[in-house]
Amino acid sequence: MLKEKIEAAISDITKILPEDLSIFKDDLEKNLRATLNATFSKMELVTREEFDIQASLLSRTREKLEALQEKLSELEKQLEEK
C-alpha cells in the first residue's frame, strides 16, 4: 500500500514538470523514489491493519489488568477484615 502511494506521488510530481525538464524525468523519478523510500523507512510507519491489531490487543490487555486490579482490591479487603 505504501509503495502504491509512493508511485502515485511520483506520478503526480512528474506530471506537473515543465516541458523543458521532462528530459530529466527518469532521473527525477529514480531520485524521488529513493528519497521517499528512505524517508518512510526512517519513520517506521505501520499499516492500518497492524495498528488495529495492536489497538485491539492493548484494549484486551487493559480489560484483563482492570479485572486483576479488582480481584486484588477484593483480596486486600478480605485480608483487612481478618
Identify the pLDDT of residue 26. Answer: 82
Q: How many C-beta atoms surround the C-beta of residue 57 within 10 A?
A: 10
Confirm if 34 and 6 have CB atoms less than 8 A apart.
no
What pLDDT is stored for residue 23 in this prediction?
77
What pLDDT is attached to residue 16? 83
| Polymer length in residues for the chain | 82
Q: Which pLDDT value is given to residue 36?
A: 86
Where do we find the cell 500500500? Answer: 1
pLDDT along the chain (82 residues), means of 10: 81 81 81 87 86 97 97 94 82
Instruction: Kindly report the backbone phi and psi dihedral angles of residue 33, in degrees, each rounded to the nearest multiple of 5, phi listed first.
Output: -60, -45
User: 33-42: per-residue pLDDT in tens?
Assistant: 899 888 888 8
| Residue 44 DSSP one-character state | T
